[in-house]
Amino acid sequence: MSNNKNGYSIKEIADAIGVSKMKVYRTITKNHYKEQYKVGQTLYFDETVKTLLEKELKELTVTEDRNKEQKDYLVNELKDRVQSQQEQIVKLTRLLDQSQQLQFMAENKIKQLENKMTGEQDKKDSAEEPVQTSNVDNTVAKAERGFWSRLFKW
C-alpha cells in the first residue's frame, strides 16, 4: 500500500526489520520520532525514521543475541557445577557409609574382646570362690514370701 513517497506504516517497518510491531512502536515512542502523516489510526513514517529504526533495532537484536549466548554459557556452567556437586555428594555419602560400617565392626570387635575378657574373669572368680547356695537360697526364699504369707504365719 505504501511507497517511498507516502511513507511506511509501523507494520511495514516491523516486517522489513523482522521484529514485532510492538517493538517498533516502543522504539518510536522512546526516541520521540514524529510521524510524517496519519491516515485513520495508521501512522506513516518517512525513510529517515525507517533507517534509524532499522539501525537501532538491529543493534538491539545483536545485543540480545550476545546476552542470550552469555546466559546460555552461564546456565551450562551452573549445570556443570551442580552435576559436580551431586557427584561429590554421592562420593561423600558412600565414604560415610563405609566409615559407619567400619565403626560398627570395630565396636563389635571391642565388645567381643570385652566379653571374652569378662568370661575368663568370671571363670577365675568362680573357681576361687566355694559355692554356698544353701544360705543364699534360704534368704531369697524368705525375702520372696508374699504379703499374706507374712501376715498370716502358717
Going from N- to C-terminal start, the domains of the chain cover 8-121
Per-residue pLDDT 10s for the chain (154 aa) are: 444 457 899 899 999 888 888 989 898 889 888 888 988 888 899 999 999 888 888 888 777 778 888 899 999 999 999 999 999 999 999 999 999 999 999 999 999 999 988 888 777 777 666 555 555 555 655 556 677 777 777 6
Return the axis-axis angle of helices 21-31 and 10-17, rounded to nearest 10°: 110
Dihedrals phi, psi of 144, to nearest 5 degrees: -90, 0
Return the axis-axis angle of helices 47-128 and 21-31, rounded to nearest 10°: 110
Q: Does the model's pTM come out above 0.85? A: no
Sheet holding 42-45, edge to edge: 8-9, 42-45, 37-39
CB 14 within 8 A of CB 24: yes
* pLDDT (0 to 100) of residue 130: 55
**Cα–Cα separations (whole angstroms), residue 66 to 24, 69, 72, 78, 147:** 20, 5, 10, 18, 96
* pLDDT (0 to 100) of residue 43: 87
